[in-house]
């Protein structure tokens, strides 16, 4: 019998990365515009969900697919445009089910890579 928790973490990360690549590729230049829009909220502290809400309030259009937000946040982390501040908090919107997640700080300029 297959065990639900028998997956190889490296395989699951590869699948995740492939899905994020596809959602980014099919989104045109939305991710580039979203990353550029981070300059509208320098110093903002919040969850990825809070960043999404704030960018929408600033006029950024919705992406073609809801998973594009996660792809954009992961790219912002990779580019060191946002960093974790060591805190966690509960998410707000209903689809997030109040789960706890990391809090980020939007930087005024990307940090140099270590």
96 burial (CB, 10 Å; 0-12 / 13-18 / 19+) is middle
Average pLDDT (82-97) is 86
Quote the pLDDT of residue 21. 83
Residue-wise pLDDT for 23-40, tens only, equals: 888 889 999 999 999 999
Average pLDDT over residues 43-70: 96
Across all residues in the chain, what is the average pLDDT? 88
Q: Above pLDDT 70, what percent of the chain?
A: 93
- Contact between 69 and 47 (Cβ < 8 Å): no
Chain-centroid distance of CA 58 in Å reads 17
3-state secondary structure of 80: coil
**pLDDT value of position 84:** 96
Which pLDDT tens digit goes with each residue over 76-87?
Answer: 999 999 999 999
pLDDT band at 1 (very low <50, low <70, confident <90, very high): very low
Q: Which is more confident, 2 or 91?
A: 91
For residue 103, pLDDT over 80 is answered with yes
């Amino acid at each position: 019998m297959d065990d639900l928790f028998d997956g190889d973490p490296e395989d699951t990360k590869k699948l995740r990365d492939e899905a994020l690549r596809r959602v980014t590729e099919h989104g045109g230049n939305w991710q580039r515009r979203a990353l550029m829009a981070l300059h509208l909220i320098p110093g903002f502290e919040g969850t990825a969900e809070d960043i999404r809400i704030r960018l929408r309030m600033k006029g950024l259009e919705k992406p073609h697919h809801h998973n594009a937000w996660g792809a954009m946040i992961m790219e912002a982390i990779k580019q060191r445009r946002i960093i974790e501040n060591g805190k966690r908090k509960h998410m707000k919107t209903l689809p997030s089910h109040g789960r706890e997640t990391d809090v980020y700080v939007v930087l005024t300029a990307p940090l140099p890579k270590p």
